[in-house]
């Protein structure tokens, strides 16, 4: 794959994922009492709801800033891995309802891979 094609694919994914995470984290922040309650029902501390919501918003913004893409993708991958685990172990409906989280996890991995440092060919 040429560097140009890789760059185009990465920017498209970064833009779409960035908007998705900003929207998702924003919804969590706008409905914070419900989000905290949901985390509590899953046996998680309510403070984690704040961390996840703010992490999603900041991670989404980070995906749109070239220097922050890889750290943002990595942080969001951790959040999505946690979401997948929660779907498998505690959320009714299991992994079938966790497919969106799994897809986001994979797409973040693709962005992380596409934005890896490459060595210059001499």
DSSP state of 65: S
Per-residue pLDDT tens over the stretch 13-67 = 999 999 999 999 999 999 999 999 999 999 999 999 999 999 999 999 999 999 9
d(CA 99, CA 122) in angstroms, rounded, equals 43
d(CA 73, CA 88) in angstroms, rounded, equals 22
- The predicted structure's pLDDT at residue 34: 96
- CA 13 to mean position of chain CA atoms: 12
Calculate helix-pair angle for 46-62, 32-41, nearest 10 degrees: 120
Using alpha carbons, select from 69, 73, 77 the residue that is nearest to residue 102. 77
Break the chain into its structural domains and give their ranges: 3-113
pTM: 0.91
Q: What is the mean pLDDT of the chain?
A: 93
SS3 letters across 17-47: HHHHHHHHHHHHHHCHHHHHHHHHHCCCCHH
């Amino acid at each position: 794959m040429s560097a140009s094609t890789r760059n185009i694919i990465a920017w498209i994914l970064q833009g779409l994922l960035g908007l998705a995470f900003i929207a998702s984290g924003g919804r969590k922040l706008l409905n914070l009492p419900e989000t905290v309650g949901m985390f509590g029902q899953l046996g998680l501390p309510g403070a984690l709801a704040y961390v996840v919501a703010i992490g999603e918003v900041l991670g989404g913004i980070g995906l749109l800033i070239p220097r922050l893409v890889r750290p943002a993708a990595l942080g969001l991958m951790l959040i999505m891995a946690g979401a997948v685990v929660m779907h498998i172990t505690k959320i009714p409906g299991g992994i079938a309802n966790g497919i969106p989280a799994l897809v986001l996890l994979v797409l973040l991995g693709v962005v992380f891979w596409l934005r890896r440092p490459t060595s210059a060919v001499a």
